[in-house]
Amino acid sequence: MTTPLLAVRDLRRYFPIKRGVFGRVTGHVRAVDGVSFHVGAAETLALVGESGCGKSTTGRAILRLIEPTSGSVTFDGEDVLALDGARMRKLRRRMQIVFQDPFSSLNPRMSIGSIVREGLIIHHIAEGAAADARVRQLLEEVGLRSEYASRYPHEFSGGQRQRVGIARALSVEPSFIVCDEPVSALDVSVQAQVVNLLQDLQRDRGLSYLFIAHDLSVVEHIADRVAVMYLGHIVEMAPVQRVFSVPLMPYTQALLSAVPAPEPGLKHSRILLAGDVPSPANPPSGCVFHPRCQHPARDAACAGIVPPLEEKAPGHFAACIKQTPTTVSWEQQKSAGGTKPPELFVPPSLAAATY
């Protein structure tokens, strides 16, 4: 295998919980707790999960917009976390970010032309009239009229602002973009426009995306591979068709079955998860999902053993000791209190509903 564009290994980010007048640290919120993955050139890896699972923190930690607590990030052979300020700023030309909220992501006091221009000037890509021309070109490329350059963000709709945010990211000619829920705040019809734009840009420029999302239908449409996060961990990672046809991690199964199916009459028996996501300050022992898990073989071993993210099928990784095959032997499970041997479990209703 060739070296991937981006490789993340064992990334962690803990936020201290401070109490009292003197800010005594009484614990840590494990927002990201040992996450490893890679993104290839011109590939889209989707990072999905519900709020608080650590997907956004992961995206920002890779770009060092939040400093990771530990782990390593390698971008095109460079150790990102070891770079000093000046070299990091230089690397930022190649790694960009697009945000979720089209209203807070643009400086209300700058014209959209100035917003798109800033990166060009900072990185000495173009100056003066050449920069103006480039700004106009970028605006046209994302589907905005170049005459709009002198207008201010509040004069635009959500979808148009999102295009400005994309133009800003493109201005420095990156090869990798973290898309942090770029279409979640948009209406369906506008969402489709922006999704198509992102796909066109990927095709034309050979971009790689880390596409952070909670909407699985958008993910299925845009991603090559999918990583599912739960409580700071990646619990399943596989090519997109695999995740949607044979989800192995019980959490992924529940997540998929929760998506409302827009086909009346095709109402599938839904896996309704009990309770809420536990606090990342005090995650469950063993498998973080075990208190809510619907796998028929769930037992005490799930609370005792931290499941490794193991390859269940070629290219299909899942963190579940109850889904066969597993490297955690039945003997090991029994010694941890296990009473039910592992078995492969894919709810039939799920496959029927989605395919």
Partner 1 sequence: MPPVVPPLPDVAGIRSRLRRDRRATFALGVLLTIATCALLAPILSPFDPNAQLDISRLQSQAPSWSHPLGTDPFSRDVLSRLLYGARISLLISFTAVALAMSFGTLIGAVAGYLGGAIDAVLMRLVDAAFSIPTLLLLIVVIALWGEVSTSALTLLIASVGWFTVSRLVRAETLAMRDADFVVAARALGVPAWRVLGQHVLPNVVGPAIIAAALAVGNVILLEAGLSYLGIGVRPPTASWGSIIQDGSERVSDLWWLTLFPGLAILVTVFACNALGDALRDALDPRQLQAAPDDDTPIKAT
Partner 2 sequence: MTAPLLEIESLRTYFYTDAGVARAVDGVSLRVDAGETVGVVGESGCGKSVTALSILRLILPPGRIEAGSAIRFEDKNLLEMTEREVQRVRGNRISMVFQEPMTALNPVFTVGDQIAEVARIHAGMSKRDAAAKAVEMLKLVGIPAPEQRANEYPHQLSGGMRQRVVIAMALVMNPALVIADEPTTALDVTIQAQILELLADLTRRLGTSVLLITHDLGVVAEHCTRVIVMYAGEVVEETITTGLFSAAHHPYTEGLLGAMPRIGRHAERLATIPGTVPPPTAWPVGCRFRDRCQYAWDRCEREHPPLYQIDVAHVSRCHLAEEPERRAHPHPPLAAERGASAA
Q: Which residues bind partner 2 (CB under 8 A)?
A: 50-51, 143-145, 148, 156-160, 163, 187-193, 195-196, 199, 214-218, 220-221, 244, 254-265, 267, 270, 272-273, 275-277, 354-355
Q: Contact letters (x/-) for partner 1, 64-83, by CB under 8 A?
A: -x------------------
Which partner in partner 1, partner 2, none is near 114 (CB below 5 to 8 A by kind)?
A: partner 1
Copy the structure tokens of residue 42: 């011109």
Q: Does 129 bind partner 1 (CB under 8 A)?
A: no
Residues 208 and 6 sit within 8 Å (Cβ to Cβ): yes
Angle of CA points 252, 253, 255, to nearest 5°:
60
Using CA atoms of 64, 65, 68, 71 in order, give the dihedral in degrees to the nearest 10.
-30
Judged by CB under 8 A, the chain residues 35 through 64 that form the site for partner 1 are: 60, 63
Task: State which residue, 176 or 230, has the beta carbon closest to partner 1.
Answer: 176
Position 125 contacts partner 1 (CB under 8 A): no
| Strand blocks (E) in the chain | 6-19, 24-39, 44-48, 70-75, 78-79, 95-98, 176-180, 208-213, 225-230, 233-239, 310-313, 316-318
Nearer to partner 2, 80 or 256 (CB): 256
Q: What is the CA radius of gyration of the chain?
A: 22
Return the structure tokens found at 257. Answer: 């079955």
185-244 positions binding partner 1, by CB under 8 A: 187
**In the block, which residue shows the tokens 């709810």?**
347
Among 75, 99, 176, 211, binds partner 1 (CB under 8 A): 99
CB of 157 to partner 1, least distance (A): 5
- Report in angstroms the alpha-carbon separations of 43 from 21, 128, 211, 223: 48, 35, 10, 8
Residues that bind partner 1 (CB under 8 A): 60, 63, 65, 88-90, 92-93, 95-97, 99-101, 104-111, 114, 117-119, 121-123, 152, 154-158, 165, 168, 171-172, 187
